[in-house]
Structures are given as structure tokens and as C-alpha cells.
Amino acid sequence: MKDADDLSGTGAVDPTAPVDAVDAVAAADGAAPRVQSDTALVARAALATVAPEPGASKPDPILVASGIRRSFGGIVAVDVDKFEVQRGSITALIGPNGAGKTTFFNLMTGFDKPNTGVWSFDGVAMNGVAPHRMAKRGMVRTFQLTKSLTKLPVIENMKLGATDQKGEKWWNGLFPGLWKAQEAEIEARADELLRRFKLDHMREEYAGALSGGQRKLLEMARALMTDPTLVMLDEPMAGVNPALKQSLNHHVRGLRDLGMTVLFVEHDMDMVHDISDWVIVMAEGQVIAEGTPDDISSNPAVIDAYLGAHQGRTLLEDQT
């Protein structure tokens, strides 16, 4: 665990570290200011100047999409005029089920093609780019339904993530001398990530032997093997217990501290409020609101479309 600290700026990776105690208190009473890392302060300062309105322009966007429209038959799943993600920020994408969040993810990552619209990543147009090229450009995604490769050991799952492997050409595969050195390097990187995500004890196990939460961690760790600049997480907290959620939170924050941009879809409003610098709300395929987490939780349109009138009250209160 001691090496966790030097891997992320805040040391926030270890849920048992003192920093987390502060977090837990902050999350519990919702008012006390949380200890923020420098990168969070930078991201929030940059976003403080952005008007909280749908399609707002960001000072330094890494992902810019405009006029993205995708319909399945007569149903328009996604119709987004403008969508920008600030570099170095953690941006949450929320919205009711069927709002088109995952479809939008698929469109951005090349897994689906929009009917109309253009988008660029890091200043490069991404229209028509095949999904497998996205990772090489620094955009990586995870999936709502975790895709751990169950019949591969955890370490093999990780090593698969590395890009530009010489040994992945079949004619090189026969000559281990050509790729052994690179493989060792990849393995070292994979081991480091496994330690960070506390999966090192499962190194040799089949991924299928992992629990649901561990698979989420594995998928995220594997995505990081591609050395991404933008990490897109589709419901990283779905089906994860509260304790593991805390540690996932830290991992996501750790990504920003390492200089990555994070865009994630999530229904867990505590997490959204806790870690995101900016929130974009979709409903019925469109962006209906944008803003800081505080802007969003007080936005009547969002409460109406997504949070519901009971937001902020626990369900138990209703029963008593």
C-alpha cells in the first residue's frame, strides 16, 4: 500500500488513508469543504468562468462534438447540438434511463456512427475513425456491462491493454526474442496498476473468478494500460458496494491527478456530486442542463427530468 501514495498526487487512492476520513465526513454532512487536490482546483477554477447552460463552450476542450444526431428507425436516441469536455476535468454525464448517454458514448468512441454531426478529440476530427484507432489516439472507454475477459488471467487482461505491441503481429509471435523485452516492460506496468487498484493478489486468477466490483476495477485498470488522455467510464459504480465505491471514487480522482480527463456516465448522485467538476445532463437525447454539481442539484429542469422531487431526502424518511 505504501507505493499508492506516489502514484497519485493526493495519495487518495488508499481508502484507509487519513484524507479519506475527511472525505467521508464531507460526504456525510454535505457542507464541510473537502480537501481538494491541485488538479481539482485548477479544473474548477477553469470551469468557474463557464456559463451553466446547455452546450456551454469550455476554455480548453479536449472533446468537442456538434450536431450529433443518431436515430434508430423513428426514435431519435441522440440529438446533441454542442458538447464539450474540459481538459483535465472530471465531467459527469447524467440523465434518466433511455436519455441516450450510452449511445452518445458509443458514437464518440466509434462503436456506432451518427447520422449527422462532427466531433473532434484533441483537435483532430474523429468522424469515421474506427473504434480500434481511438485507443491509439488516447481515448479509451469502459462498458456499462463489465467486459472482463473471463477466461484470461487477470494479468493477461492487463497486458492486453498495452498498445503497439510488437508481439501482436503474428509473424513476430513466433520469435519471442523480438517482443520479450517489451513484454517485460508491459508486465511491470501492469503489475504497478494492479497494485494501485489492489488486484495484485488476484494476478494469476481468471478474471471470471473476480467479484463484480473487482471486475469494474480490472476494466478500469486495463483501460489505463492504453495510456489514455481521455477516459470514458460507462457507469463505473453500477452494482458496486459502498465501500468499494469509495475506493473507486479515489481511483477516478487519481486519474485527473495524473493528468487525464474523465468523462463518466453515472446514476449514483453522491458520486457525481462528490467527484465531478462539471455535470452535463441529458434527457430524451438532448443536453438539457450543464453546470457545476451545485448548479445542477438546484436546477429545476434537472430535478424535474431526473432527480425527482425526493432528491436530498432518504426514502426512509418517507416511511416514518
Partner 1 sequence: MDIGGVLENTILQFIGFNACYYAIAAIGLNVQFGFTGLLNFGQAAFMAAGAYGVGQTVTIFGISLWWGVGIGIAYAVFLGLLMGVPTLRLRADYLAIVTIASAEIVRLVVRSVKFRDQFGGTDGLSGFASAYQGVGVDLGLQPAGEYGFWIFTFSGRNLWNLLVGWSLVAIFGLIVWRLMKSPWGRVLKAIREDEDAVRSLGKNVYSYKMQALVLGGVIGSFAGMMLALGNANVQPDNFSRDLTFFVLTGLVLGGVAKVTGSIVGPMLFWAIYAFLDSLLRELVDKPVRIGDFTLIQSTDIGSVVFMVMGLLLILLMVYRPQGLFGNKKEMAFEGR
Q: Which long-range contacts (CB under 8 A, 24 or more apart) does 71-79 make?
A: 71/115, 76/285, 77/103, 77/285, 78/103, 78/104, 78/107, 78/114, 78/285, 79/285, 79/286
Give yes or no for residue 63 binding partner 1 (CB under 8 A): no
At 84, is the secondary structure helix, strand, or coil?
A: strand
Identify any residues that bridge with 268 across adjacent strands, giving them in sequence order. none
Nearest-approach distance from CB 66 to partner 1, in angstroms: 24
Span of 9-17, 84-92, 141-149, 289-297 interacting with partner 1 by CB under 8 A: 141-149
Q: How many residues bind partner 1 (CB under 8 A)?
A: 46
Each residue 26-45 as x (binds partner 1 by CB under 8 A) or -, in order, gives --------------------
Which member of 209, 243, 258, 301 binds partner 1 (CB under 8 A)? 209
Is 185 one of the binding residues for partner 1 (CB under 8 A)?
no
Which residue, 132 or 313, has its beta carbon nearer to partner 1? 132
Interface with partner 1, residue 237, by CB under 8 A: no
Residue 163 CB, shortest distance to partner 1, in Å, is 5
Residue in 87, 101, 141, 195 binding partner 1, rule: CB under 8 A:
141
Residue 129's identity, in one-letter code, is V
Greatest alpha-carbon span in the chain:
70
Burial class of residue 45 in the structure, from the number of CB atoms within 10 Å of its CB (0-12 exposed, 13-18 middle, 19+ buried) = exposed
Asked if 206 touches partner 1 (CB under 8 A), the answer is yes
Q: How do 230-234 and 261-265 pair as beta strands?
A: parallel
Q: How far is the CB of 228 from partner 1 (least distance, A)?
A: 10
Q: Which is nearer to partner 1, 224 or 271 (CB)?
A: 224
Under the binding rule (CB under 8 A), the answer on residue 112 touching partner 1 is no
Site membership for partner 1, residue 286 (CB under 8 A): no
Binds partner 1 (CB under 8 A): choice among 46, 62, 64, 135: 135
Least distance in Å: CB of 230 to partner 1? 13
Kindly give the interhelix angle for 212-224 and 242-257, rounded to the nearest 10 degrees: 10
Which of these, 268, 144, 163, lies nearest to 215 by C-alpha position?
144
- Report the distance separating Cα 117 and Cα 52, nearest Å: 23
Q: How far apart are CA 283 and CA 116, in angstroms?
A: 19
206 sits in the region (left: phi over 0; alpha: psi -120 to 50; else beta) called beta
Q: Which three cell numbers stand for residue 239?
A: 452494482
Span from 31-39, 45-53, 129-137, 302-310 in contact with partner 1 (CB under 8 A): 129-137
160 near partner 1 (CB under 8 A): yes
Q: Which residues bind partner 1 (CB under 8 A)?
A: 109, 111, 130-136, 140-143, 147-152, 156-157, 159-161, 163, 165-170, 172-174, 176, 179, 183, 206-209, 219, 222-223, 225-226
